[in-house]
Amino acid sequence: MGSEAPIGMTSCEDGPLRLMAVHAHPDDESSKGAATMARYAAEGVEVLVVTCTGGERGDILNPAMDRPEIKADIAAVRRQEMARAREILGVQQIWLGFEDSGFPEGDPPPPLPEGCFALQPLQVAAEPLVRAVREFRPHVMLTYDEKGGYPHPDHVMCHRVSVEAFEAAGDPDRYPGTGEPWQPLKLYYHMTFNKERIEALHAAMEKAGLESPYGDWLKRFEERPAPWAVTTRVPCADYFETRDRALLAHATQIDPDGFWFRCPLEVQRQAWPTEDYHLARSLVDTELPEDDLFAGVREKVCL
């Protein structure tokens, strides 16, 4: 398909438009909203990924990387992977410095490790993010919904600190000593794995005579309906290949022969050429549905 037309103005009186995406672990930025970020970055928007934890307790999910020397220094390896991914996406990235909580499994699940991100008091966990918001001054923020997208304790905490930072960063009386107040204008939740998208990809795979990997997902939607509706679909199919290269940069987490790559790019581009979001907070007027995260923002700050 041809190149997508630019969405609109990216530079205003106080500089470029700015987008902040808050994620729990390295690799989350490449599996949720990566093509959106790559598109906006290519069009001149400043994009900052905030990674809350180092991913130290993530399992090695790529058999080719399951080696003793990698396990021995997994935190350093994941930082190296993140550096490659952010370069591929063309974005900036910072670490909040919290410790990965891990995903507790079992019945009952074991307690979370002492000092981990998910056990931090909200004000302690949110303070460095408030500082980052006041320094970077994003117009738009991206995060997960209150269930974390899936119930990983770090994803749930990521939601909590993102909402706290969105609501507190503009208030001069909150979080003193973290910089001059700055109020972001819109907050979105990722809706990457929404039912309509998965249904479309499933149907497109079957139409192409390919075995679909999405059957079990569709059953899960019947058991757990999505809590939020999609309000915003950002066209970014031209950047799906960039997204996949960023995913592959996280080699300990992403198996090149695994689930993420079973649906051919051309099928994805034809069946569902957008990445999708729910507009959770807006301090500007905008008309739904949207095709631009900066809808209403451009009109307010780029006059």
> Residue 95, SS3?
strand
Helix (DSSP H) and strand (DSSP E) numbers for the chain: 11, 9
Q: Kindly state the tokens that stand for 132.
A: 């980052």
Calculate helix-pair angle for 34-42, 74-89, nearest 10 degrees.
50
**Rounded Cα gap, residues 154 and 99, in angstroms:** 9
Q: Kindly state the tokens that stand for 91.
A: 């974005």
Binding residues: 25, 28, 155
Binding residues for Zn(2+): 25, 28, 155
In three-state form (DSSP H/G/I as H, E/B as E, the rest C), the secondary structure along 261-294 is HCCCHHHHHHHCCEEEEEEEEECCCCCCCECCCC
Give the CA diameter of the chain: 60
Half-sphere exposure of 292 (CA within 13 A, CB side): 19
